Structure 1
């Protein structure tokens, strides 16, 4: 990539108003994504359904962009409303038997990766806890939680509250050796760091687009490895789930063999068009460049905040796009509110301030954040 990262800032007008460090929460979307949605809206306003075939073709291009981002095949990608939707399709679609266990760090994970598994209780499925004394899921902790009854391991690629990055390659290899399914909540990594579902031996990965992918809420994608697709029963079915979807003159109930069987009805064109523009931008910049830039910005933040006596984590080797800190006086919530009042977008999670810059943030913005924290301390 020859274009400078800073040159993309004009695509995000919010940066003129706020110091935006909350991409692990809700990211701003770009002018390109807005224009893509506006273009589709103008089309249907002025031409009705005339260009529907073009819309469908575009959706397939977006499916391909999503697949490329995580090294999957297009046929392994289904569009979903959000991360919870995708994880729910997995939880409800597998053929559980009483006594099966799901291994998950329920005390640490975001609820989206806990509730779908707890909901299986009435089907005789037990949730077994992964111990997380270090604030993250380690391969050793997963191994300790496995039993002969383990059917599936569910983890987040990056923990939302602590920022701890899971070693997906190691956990995936462990699951493969144990003969269990591997399901990943990928919302805190896809668009932030490289993700390779094949290398990591992942069977299922779900991610919404409104965080690191720089899309909008209400659209994301679910990856289902093609070798386990036959084992996943669609929770809902409709005309689009079938092999002869566009033939409305007969009923021919044969489910598609690819992940498209999980899309039961009409496409969410506005969301998919926004997602497409967002994914094109990520591919244009390059995930390796994005990851490197975020790593540099977080390193700069860590140095500055440690210089103020803050407790900072996670360690660089366990870091993706999130840095959390606790000021010496321990008043994270008060500090977070004070910073928000000064147009800093951030989050407070589990008693710590959470910062999450993206590739277009500037080094001088990191200096500004540190100086604001210094000012608050007086």
Structure 2
């Protein structure tokens, strides 16, 4: 991976150390140019929405490759909450003893849709965190023969704890439950393989480690489950032949996950195609290895500065590292003065490097957190 070429893709970072990809990525040049072309054509009455629809199909295919799936398994949705809402809506009214298992410290988009199932009779079992994490064993203790869905984050957005998806999948299978994964902090950051890990549903927005922008996201549906789901936001894109289905009276739904599509956000779709093409061109394997190297380098830099943080075993590490500090406001002010962009979550400084970062940037961030 040529670091000078990568720098050329992100010229806006020349004077900024950006370690906030867990909130939103930095727009790469091809994605920015896609927006600029779209705005110019839109403002002159020459916007080609068919090109945008094609961009969405190409983005669907490239995202599928990243998670080890096929394009037919992917629905395009605007957000994780939309994906979770679709899945939740397809659970029938609960029978006696049926329940949902979810960690109590999940991000709201992967929490509220399941809590609302209480109104349909489900016992929603919110599993308490143990020292900020919810291990697979805790989910196993909450699950039983009445469990109908287990929902987790592949990478927790605050702690950076990376879930053991294959172990949780086995727990879900033992209960006959669906297994839903929020991959917002994992897709494009750490390895994902939905087939290997036995995932039933995986959802992500594209504006973090996938280099896209707000408004585009994806829902993976395991083959065999598509026929069991009905779209709850059905429009013309849900049809088997969308471009022949603008009007009624007939309704013939797609036989693939695209029947769950929301109407496409055209500008974000054009940007997503450009952004995912960057990932495809560099190689997702090379990006993931680079990310792992940067995470290790950041950990070493923090340790060298005497900065304490929550250390996870290798299989549970991600690209997110959260550092507890006594005065988050003071540390954030120091970082801002040095043009270092991070975020604060639960009173901790959250650092989230991506492949566009450099080792010396991580060293400087560690020094600043330590007060140097």
| TM-score of the superposed pair, with normalisation by structure 2 | 0.92
**Map of 1:60 onto structure 2:** 57
Q: What is the CA distance between 1:288 and its match in structure 2?
A: 2.4
1:258 alignment counterpart: 256
Matched, 1:121 2:118: yes
Decide whether the 8 Å contact of 1:11 with 1:30 is kept in 2: yes
Separation of aligned partners in 1, 2:35 and 2:288: 27
RMSD over equivalenced CA pairs, Å: 2.0
| Aligned equivalents of 1:214, 1:350: Cα separation in 2 | 25
- The equivalent residue for 1:36 is 34
SS of 1:147's equivalent in the other structure is coil
Tell me the CA shift for residue 45 of structure 1. 4.9
CA contact (8 A) 1:137 1:155 kept: no
The residue that corresponds to 1:150 in the other structure is 147
Task: Give, in whole Å, the separation in 1 of the partners of 2:107 and 2:52.
Answer: 34
Local SS of the residue matching 2:354: coil
Q: Which runs of 5+ in 2 are unaligned?
A: none
Q: Distance in 2 between matches of 1:227 and 1:183?
A: 15
CA distance in 1, matches of 2:122, 2:152: 17
**1:21-61: CA deviations, max 9, x gaps?**
01111111111111123334444555646x55444333222
Change (3 A) 1:149 1:250: closer
Structure 1 unmatched runs, 5+: none
Provide the rounded CA distance (Å) in 2 between the counterparts of 1:67 and 1:131. Answer: 33
The alignment's TM-score, normalised by the length of structure 1, stands at 0.91
Partner of 1:358: 354
Number of paired residues? 369
Shift of 1:287: 2.5
Alignment of 1:287-306 (within 5 A): 287-306=284-303
* 1:348 alignment partner, SS class: strand
**Aligned pairs (5 A) from 1:173-322:** 173-247=170-244, 248=246, 250-265=248-263, 267-317=264-314, 318-322=316-320
Deviations 1:111-168 (A, max 9, x none): 1111111112211122112243143232211211102211000000001110100011
Q: Deviations over 1:228-248 (max 9, x none)?
A: 112222112222222243334
Matched, 1:85 2:82: yes
Aligned partners of 1:232 and 1:5: how far apart in 2? 44
Describe the SS at the equivalent of 2:369. Answer: helix
